[in-house]
Copies of this chain bind each other. A is one copy, B any other.
């Protein structure tokens, strides 16, 4: 076993617990949640406070996360290696199709929108960076999962209740592209393909979205080829990058 700072790990777990709580929480409740002595939590939280990661509501004597994490999160996303590499590809996809382009990564049961590019023209629906969506709720997610190794795909499938998802997955695997002419709740269409690294492991998905009214059968072949070619060049053009995150 590798040596490491257990104190640091415990503190981070504590921070996660505070974040997960979603509202200000007191020492005792927190100690119960993470199963640690009160005095211990009290000391650790002092460090988090000193570091500026949590605020203290003096009136209710409760702790809640400060905005520091939110700002660090933005920086992380902005400088994420994948993002830097993928952005030019997305811009090209926007130029080719005139629609918004997106790149997503899998994280647990969700897809995270790591990078987005949109046309200069006015758009109705905007996807913010690092938005997290259930994979089965978007073509990007379906495209990604369709290309996963069987065991991983099975594990994800076991946890979903969407009845038609298996058909959609099968169609996507056959065509190499996930199509969604009209999103269930948002009035948009989606077109997405998995992105593979040089060794054929899936690392994400790339795709475009736009108003459903622009889901035109005549334009479809061109758009499909634009998306698939974007997926192809996505990482062959940037081989210098590593195989990806080793977590998640």
CB interface residues, A 86-116, toward B, < 8 Å: 105, 107, 112, 114
**Contact of A149 with B by CB under 8 A:** no
**Contact of A81 with B by CB under 8 A:** yes
The verdict on A70 contacting B245 (CB below 8 Å), with A48-B8, A123-B122 known, is no
Distance to closest chain B CB from A160 (angstroms):
20
Against B, the Cβ 8 Å flags (1 = close, 0 = not) of A71-84 are 11111111111000
Give the top 5 A-B pairs by smallest Cβ distance, nearest first: A73-B73, A8-B11, A4-B46, A57-B242, A4-B47
The contact sample of 6 A-B pairs, CB cut-off 8 A, is A2-B50, A12-B47, A12-B51, A58-B246, A67-B107, A68-B248
**A-B contact sample (14 more), CB < 8 A, given A52-B247, A67-B107, A67-B248:** A5-B43, A9-B47, A12-B47, A22-B75, A49-B247, A57-B242, A58-B242, A59-B242, A64-B81, A69-B69, A73-B130, A74-B131, A123-B124, A126-B126
